């Protein structure tokens, strides 16, 4: 879903808002992270999905015929879900039955039948605030202003 709204507050001030939201999920298996079943007919596999968003808000003001100020803020993020399809019945089916547990057997040449036994998630966000003042004279322009960026991974 994508949207954009523009408002002319006055003849010299314009407000702009944008928003985008995407819901993305792997169709079969998470092949990027080796999530395909290890053995034929296995019900234990991983999928990966995410709900990503971004948005911005800007106020553009014409202060004089040669001086324009733009204040802009924005953010992006959204959780990435790794193996949200996990459930205990994956370990008690007809293909291999471990009574709902993940039994791990180690040794040379031994491969456990399960890919993953739990899910996880990550949400990386970023936020930006910037203010730009543009002064133009003849065919030249001078641009200045502060900029702030905040990024979080979790």
Q: What is the pLDDT of residues 106-122, one digit of tens each?
A: 788 888 877 877 888 88
Identify which has the larger pLDDT, 36 or 142: 36
- Please tell me the distance from the alpha carbon of residue 31 to that of residue 40, in angstroms, as a whole number: 16
Asked if residues 29 and 46 have their Cβ atoms less than 8 Å apart, the reply is yes
Mean pLDDT score of the chain, rounded to an integer?
A: 83
Q: Reply yes or no on whether the pLDDT at 27 is more than 60.
A: yes
CA pair distance 76, 79, nearest whole angstrom = 11
Q: Are 74 and 127 within 8 A, CB to CB?
A: yes
Q: What is the pTM of this model?
A: 0.67
Q: Which two tokens stand for residue 56?
A: 């911005």
On whether the CB atoms of residues 132 and 113 are closer than 8 A, the answer is no
The predicted-structure confidence for 65-96, as pLDDT tens digits, reads as follows: 888 999 999 999 988 888 888 877 777 766 67
Q: What is the mean pLDDT of residues 47-61?
A: 92
Q: At residue 153, does pLDDT exceed 80? A: no
User: Do 73 and 56 form a contact (C-beta atoms < 8 A)?
Assistant: yes
pLDDT attached to residue 148:
64
Spatial distance between the Cα atoms of 123 and 152, rounded to a whole number of angstroms:
8
> Looking at residue 24, what is its pLDDT?
83
Distance CA(120)–CA(65), nearest Å, equals 54
């Amino acid at each position: 879903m994508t949207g954009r709204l523009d408002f002319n507050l006055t003849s010299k001030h314009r407000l702009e808002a944008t928003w985008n939201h995407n819901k993305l999920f792997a169709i079969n298996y998470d092949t990027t992270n080796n999530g395909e079943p290890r053995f034929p007919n296995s019900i234990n596999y991983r999928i990966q999905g995410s709900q990503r968003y971004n948005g911005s808000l800007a106020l553009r003001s014409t202060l004089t015929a040669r001086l324009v100020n733009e204040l802009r803020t924005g953010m992006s993020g959204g959780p990435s879900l790794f193996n949200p399809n996990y459930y205990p019945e994956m370990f008690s089916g007809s293909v291999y039955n471990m009574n709902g547990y993940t039994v791990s057997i180690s040794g040379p040449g031994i491969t456990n039948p399960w890919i993953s036994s739990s899910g996880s998630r990550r949400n990386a966000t970023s936020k930006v605030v910037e203010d730009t003042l543009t002064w133009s004279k003849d065919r030249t322009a001078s641009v200045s202003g502060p900029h702030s960026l905040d990024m979080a991974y979790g």
